[in-house]
Amino acid sequence: MACARGSLLKEIDLTKAQFLSLVEDARLLAQAHYDDDSRERLAGKNIALVFEKSSTRTRCAFEVAAHREGAHVTYLGPSGSHLGKEESIRDTARVLGRMFDGIEFRGFSQSSVEELAENAGVPVWNGLTDQWHPTQMLADIMTMIDNHDGPVEEIVYSFVGDGRNNVARSLLVTGALLGMNVRIVAPRELWPPADVVDIAETLAVDSRARILITDNISDGVDDADFVYTDMWVSMGESDEQWSSRVELLLPYRVTEQTMKLTGKPESRFMHCLPSVHDRSTALGQSVFDRFGLDGAEVTDDVFESPQSLVFEQAENRLHTIRAVLVEALGN
Ligand code: CP
Ligand code: NVA
C-alpha cells in the first residue's frame, strides 16, 4: 500500500510549491488565531501521537494545533504501548489506521515511519527520525522568510555543527529544494553522508540552489543571513559521544565572533532547540563538569541576544504543524 495523501515523511516528498504553500497556510492560520477566528477545521478527527523519543515542541505543537482545530489527540510515549516490543510497526499501523484519522511518529529509524505510512492507510507525519526533521523545516523556513526582505531564493543560511545529524541533513535538502544558498559548516568527520549530498546536488540542478559543504568557518558563514546550530549529540546517541564531539566541534561553537564573520550586522541566530547554552540543565552542568564548558554549541550571549530567533522558531512549529494537519485532514 502506498502512503496516504497528506503524509509528510521527508522534505523531498514535497515540491517547492507545496512546501511554500504550507508555509503560507501557516501564516494565514496564525493570523486567524490572532484574529480570534475559532473555526474548527478538524472537528471530529482523532490523531495519534507516537513518540519513541522525548519531545517538548513537536508534541505540544501537534497537541495544541489539533485542539485549536477541534481534533482529539492520543499520546503514545516511549513506554506504555506495545510498539517495538510485543507488536511490530506494521501491525501497529494497521490497528491505529482503523481508529485514527492521522498519525504523528517520532522515532529512530526513517524506515519505521515509512513502514507505518505504508500500512496505516491514513496520513502519517514524521515528527523527527535519525534521518530527517521535516516539520522543523517548515517552521524554520517560515521564520527565515519572516525575517528577511526579498525572495526566498536570496536567503543565505549556514548550519554550523554536527553536519551529519537530522536537522543538518534536512536543512541541506530543504535549501536545495527551495533554491536557496545553503552551507553546512563542520569538521570533515561530521560532514553529511554522500547520499544526502547527492540528493541536494540533484535538486540544485533544477532549483539553482547554491550549496557549500566546508570545514572553513569564515568561508562557511560569510554573507549568511542566518547562522543555525543544533545539539552536538543527538537523541539516541550515546552520552560517551560527548568527548569526541567536544574535541571536534569546539572550534565550531557559535559565538559572537562567528556571528561577526557573516559580515552582516543584521544576521540572525537560529536553533531548533533544546540547546546547551548554559549550566541551567543537568546536561549543561554535566558538560561544564566534564569539559569546563559553560554552554556547548552556542554561547549564552548569542542565544540570548536580540539576534536570536529561537523562540520565534519554536512558536512557528505550532503554526506550521497546524497547516500540515489542516491540509491533510481539514473539512
Ligand atoms: N525542535 C524540536 O523538535 O523540539 P522537541 O524535541 O522538543 O520536539
Ligand atoms: N538533532 C537533534 C534535534 C532535536 C530536535 C536530535 O535529534 O536530538
Q: Is there an atom of ligand 2 within 6 Å of 297 CB?
A: no
Percentage of the chain beyond pLDDT 90 is 96
59 alpha carbon – ligand 2 mean position (Å): 14
Mean pLDDT, residues 160-189 taken together: 98
Measured CA to CA, the distance from residue 66 to residue 278 in angstroms comes to: 33
**Range list for CATH 3.40.50.1370 in the chain:** 11-133+317-329, 148-308
Indicate if the pLDDT at residue 155 is higher than 90: yes
Indicate if the pLDDT at residue 264 is higher than 90: yes
Tell me how crowded residue 54 is: count the other CB atoms within 10 A of its CB: 12
pLDDT 10s digits, 74-126: 999 999 899 988 999 999 999 999 999 999 999 999 999 999 999 999 999 99
Mean pLDDT, residues 261-290 taken together: 98
Indicate if the pLDDT at residue 2 is higher than 90: no
| Strand ranges inside 3-61, DSSP E | 46-51
Which residues, at least 6 apart from 207, have a Cβ–Cβ distance to it below 8 Å? 16, 176, 177, 178, 179
Matching residue, cell 565550531: 252
How big, in percent rounded to 5, are the helix, strand and coil portions of the chain?
A: 50, 15, 35
Cell triple for 122: 491514513
The CATH superfamily of 11-133+317-329 is: Aspartate/ornithine carbamoyltransferase (3.40.50.1370)
Cell triple for 259: 556571528
pLDDT 10s digits, 175-220: 999 999 999 999 999 999 999 999 999 999 999 999 999 999 999 9
Q: Which ligand neighbours the alpha carbon of 130 most closely?
A: 2
Q: Which ligand neighbours the alpha carbon of 314 most closely?
A: 1
Q: Is there an atom of ligand 1 within 6 Å of 57 CB?
A: yes
Catalytic annotation on 307?
A: no
Give the model's confidence band at 229: pLDDT under 50 very low, under 70 low, under 90 confident, else very high. very high
- Tell me the C-alpha to C-alpha distance, in Å, between residue 311 and each of 72, 305, 314, 318: 26, 12, 5, 12
Any idea how long the chain is?
Answer: 331
Catalytic annotation on 317?
A: yes
DSSP state of 164: T
Q: Is there an atom of ligand 1 within 6 Å of 58 CB?
A: yes
Q: Is there an atom of ligand 2 within 6 Å of 165 CB?
A: yes
126 alpha carbon – ligand 1 mean position (Å): 12
Nearest CA to ligand 2 atom 2: 234
Give this prediction's pTM. Answer: 0.98
Mean pLDDT, residues 155-161 taken together: 99
Class of domain 148-308: alpha beta
Percentage of the chain beyond pLDDT 70 is 100
Nearest CA to ligand 1 atom 4: 57
pLDDT averaged over every residue in the chain: 97
